[in-house]
A and B are shown apart, each in its own frame.
Chain A
């Protein structure tokens, strides 16, 4: 009886309460999202205004005369094509090698329950990048590899390989063991079962691993800032050195920064689902 009366009471006041609830919800959502949206819109606004407008006070939010002159400056004054090429080669090659090595390894670790290796992967995740960088720097100097793209590709394996192994481990553990057994009964050996049955099934996992390896290699700064020379700079290093030379060219800096991160932002929106799976399944970051 009492229960019924409570429900009726709830229903009577419900339209008001629901309206207030919706409004409160929208307000909270606005609060949570506004810092993100504001920074990116301000960034876009900076890149589309000449510096007279960028350093005006009070700030001009909506560009009165939007212009691409900042982008033109950045592209003309810097060998941006070369830096983009460097970033592309390093990120794709290290991602490819990470998959080549990491997909079988993820499978092997999942099936052999090689937990020691899983712990090795986790520990490498906790290690500061500089602990790799100092020995590499000495080693590459000895080998004469400093200032080559190969040095960057090799070091970026430390970003891509653990991500790939971790994501693939999770994927292969999630596949039914019966699939492999059936292949073995049909006369495949373990390699054949992996190659023809399991790997095609794990393709979604490979996509996740590839996207994350690529992005974290693309974004990496600390390795390239030390190991790259004038001609092997990647994009993050390139914009960092622009900062040192033109402190007050805000429009140019914003445009360059936007060009560098735009591919990543596009991937984030397009492949949102894969990124969420990857970032939460192992929660590994480079």
Chain B
């Protein structure tokens, strides 16, 4: 991050060149315009959210102050609690699958082979493509009767599934799309890590007669683990916040079977117009995201020295 650069202290302050203090103030002037915009578009919503969450607030009715009332109701709202478990289930799948496949893909893309650069471009297309468009296509692929996925399964004699159209399979199916979409990001981050690995441990290991799996398990994996964990942290944050594909393909359904916190929040705010209540959900949701990110950072610190 921003602490790594050595400061240019060696230059003596003389003549008309500004002093360190004046200089720092000048640098801050570069920041102020952006800070003002961020205050209006980012900080103001945060503060206003906290205020709204303390009120019983519908869009058309005047707000009534209820203190922590919204938060207390949340604790007893089964729909919210179910959404929370569902979100965790979805998140775990959407972190583990891309981390495994992304690491494998990175190991492959770290080798030289023909068309590598072009194929890498193809491989990262899912994470850049418009998520709503992907949701439409996947909804067709998942179709139980006419979809291509059940047909492919039948070719290898596997039973068909209802995918996003069945209450029990909808979350894993959506996590599959999320994994398909975001495995490339994990791949890129781990690939960056692989590029930074020194070559000497490999030379001595090859001389010692280690096979490729032993090399991967005992040399490569520990060295790239910090990168894998960074990728896992980003994945955690993004999977918790996932919205576009879920909303565009199922809108929380069938029933409420794919209603994650974000979908629940959206419906409370913009379908039922319970703005105060939704704001309380936002605050709780934000706390969950930050705590998860900190947990992942803590786990990453542990991988650094083992």
Chain A residues within 8 Å of B, Cβ to Cβ:
3, 6, 25, 28-29, 32-33, 35-37, 39-40, 42-43, 46, 55, 57-59, 101-102, 104-105, 107-115, 117-118, 120, 123-139, 141, 154-155, 157-158, 161, 165, 169, 173, 177-178, 180-181, 184-185, 190-191, 194, 215, 218-219, 221-222, 226, 235-237, 239-240, 243, 250, 253-254, 257-258, 260-261, 264-265, 267-269, 272, 275-276, 279-280, 283, 285
Q: What distance in Å separates the Cβ of B1 from its nearest Cβ neighbour in chain A? A: 7
Inter-chain contact B137/A43, CB cutoff 8 Å: yes
Inter-chain contact A257/B136, CB cutoff 8 Å: yes
User: B48 in the interface, Cβ–Cβ < 8 Å?
Assistant: yes
Inter-chain contact B130/A235, CB cutoff 8 Å: yes
CA distance A129 to B261 in the complex (A): 12
Picked from B113, B146, B289, the residue with its CB within 8 Å of the CB of A29 is B113
Task: Count residues of B near A (Cβ-Cβ below 8 Å).
Answer: 100
Inter-chain contact A42/B46, CB cutoff 8 Å: no
Inter-chain contact B128/A126, CB cutoff 8 Å: no
Picked from A105, A128, A161, A254, the residue with its CB within 8 Å of the CB of B282 is A128
A126-B293 contact, Cβ under 8 Å, with A46-B140, A102-B34? yes
Picked from A157, A222, A236, the residue with its CB within 8 Å of the CB of B41 is A157
List residues of chain B with CB within 8 A of the CB of A191: 26
Picked from A101, A129, A178, A257, the residue with its CB within 8 Å of the CB of B243 is A129
User: B29 in the interface, Cβ–Cβ < 8 Å?
Assistant: yes
Picked from A126, A138, A157, A240, the residue with its CB within 8 Å of the CB of B290 is A126
List residues of chain B with CB within 8 A of the CB of A190: 18, 23, 26-27
A258-B133 contact, Cβ under 8 Å, with A112-B24, A279-B188? yes
Per-residue interface assignment for chain B, residues 86 to 112, with 1 indicating a CB less than 8 Å from any chain A CB and 0 otherwise? 000000000000000100110010010
Inter-chain contact A254/B131, CB cutoff 8 Å: no
Inter-chain contact A268/B124, CB cutoff 8 Å: yes
Inter-chain contact A42/B141, CB cutoff 8 Å: yes
15 A-B residue pairings within 8 Å (CB atoms)? A32-B123, A112-B28, A117-B35, A128-B286, A130-B243, A131-B45, A131-B46, A134-B279, A138-B59, A173-B2, A243-B136, A260-B130, A276-B188, A280-B192, A285-B238
Inter-chain contact A157/B37, CB cutoff 8 Å: yes
List residues of chain B with CB within 8 A of the CB of A32: 101, 104-105, 108, 123
User: B42 in the interface, Cβ–Cβ < 8 Å?
Assistant: yes
User: B156 in the interface, Cβ–Cβ < 8 Å?
Assistant: no
List residues of chain B with CB within 8 A of the CB of A37: 122
Q: Nearest chain-B residue to A222 (Cβ)? A: B243
Q: What distance in Å separates the Cβ of A85 from its nearest Cβ neighbour in chain B? A: 17
Inter-chain contact A59/B151, CB cutoff 8 Å: yes
Chain B residues within 8 Å of A, Cβ to Cβ:
1-8, 11, 17-18, 23-24, 26-31, 33-35, 37-38, 41-46, 48-49, 52, 59, 101, 104-105, 108, 111, 113, 117-134, 136-141, 145-146, 148, 151, 180, 185, 188-189, 192, 207, 209, 230-231, 234, 237-238, 240-241, 243-244, 247-248, 262, 265-266, 269-270, 275, 278-279, 282, 285-286, 289-290, 293
A177-B128 contact, Cβ under 8 Å, with A134-B278, A158-B41? no
Inter-chain contact A158/B42, CB cutoff 8 Å: yes
CA distance A182 to B279 in the complex (A): 52
A132-B41 contact, Cβ under 8 Å, with A42-B141, A108-B31, A112-B28? yes
List residues of chain B with CB within 8 A of the CB of A276: 124, 188
Inter-chain contact A194/B121, CB cutoff 8 Å: no
Inter-chain contact B31/A136, CB cutoff 8 Å: no
Inter-chain contact A264/B45, CB cutoff 8 Å: no
A261-B27 contact, Cβ under 8 Å, with A101-B37, A276-B124? no
Inter-chain contact A130/B269, CB cutoff 8 Å: yes
Q: What distance in Å separates the Cβ of B234 from its nearest Cβ neighbour in chain A? A: 5
Inter-chain contact A101/B34, CB cutoff 8 Å: yes
List residues of chain B with CB within 8 A of the CB of A180: 8
Inter-chain contact A219/B131, CB cutoff 8 Å: yes
Inter-chain contact B2/A155, CB cutoff 8 Å: no
List residues of chain A with CB within 8 A of the CB of B122: 33, 36-37, 40, 269
